[in-house]
Amino acid sequence: MISYVTVGADDLELAKRFYSAFLPALGYGLNEGPEGLSFALPVEEGQRPLLPDFYVKPTFNGHAASAGNGTMIAFEAERQSQVRALHAAALAAGGSDEGQPGFRASYGSHFYVSYLRDPQGNKIALFSSDPNEPGRDD
């Protein structure tokens, strides 16, 4: 099981604006500290944390942050309409488009996805795969 994912950022305020445009709508809360931004799903008392957490931090070595070639982080939305709304919100908050919301021929018939780049260049996917919604072949 993946416990957490961390991406580097040179501009934490810009990263905060971008990730705050969609992660709270997916249930993530934000904690800010001197080490950066920590997004986590809420935990009820006596329960184990829902994983993974998502962190945005300056680089440890002090060099410029860079996006991984071939690296992508995917966040699951509840509905196709939420994918569309969050994609638009993330673009308005400084992201760049890497693929408009929709179905892709190479994925399952209910896999509805959009792709973005955060301000640092990290690739982000927002998807829904609810079998109760219309599928690609419907």
Q: How much is the average pLDDT of 88-107?
A: 97
Domain assignment present for 136? no
- Please check the confidence at residue 1 and state whether its pLDDT lies above 90: no
- Taking residue 50's Cβ as centre, other Cβ atoms within 10 Å add up to 13
Residue among 39, 18, 19 nearest 28 (CA) = 39
Q: Please provide the average confidence, as pLDDT, over all residues in the chain.
A: 96
- Taking residue 69's Cβ as centre, other Cβ atoms within 10 Å add up to 7
In this structure, what CATH number is given to the domain that contains residue 40? Answer: 3.10.180.10
- Please check the confidence at residue 138 and state whether its pLDDT lies above 90: no
Beta bridge partners of 29: 40
Q: What is the pLDDT of residues 60-81, one digit of tens each?
A: 999 999 998 899 999 999 999 9
Q: Answer for the pair 37, 30: CB distance below 8 angstroms, yes or no.
A: yes
Looking at residue 55, its pLDDT comes to 97
Region for 26 from its dihedrals, namely left if φ exceeds 0, alpha if ψ lies in -120 to 50, beta otherwise: alpha
Domain assignment present for 27? yes
In percent, the amount of the chain with pLDDT more than 90 equals 92
For residues 112 and 114, give the distance between their C-alpha atoms in angstroms, rounded to a whole number. Answer: 7
Q: Answer for the pair 15, 56: CB distance below 8 angstroms, yes or no.
A: yes
Q: How much is the average pLDDT of 97-124?
A: 97
Number of domains in the chain: 1
Rg of the chain (C-alpha set)? 15
Domain assignment present for 64? no
- Give residue 124's pLDDT band: very low, low, confident or very high (50, 70, 90): very high
Q: What is the pLDDT of residues 6-53, one digit of tens each?
A: 999 999 999 999 999 999 999 999 999 989 999 999 999 999 988 999
What's the whole-model pTM score?
0.93
Domain assignment present for 135? no
Looking at residue 80, its pLDDT comes to 98
Single-letter amino acid, residue 128: S
Q: Which domain holds residue 14?
A: 4-59+69-128
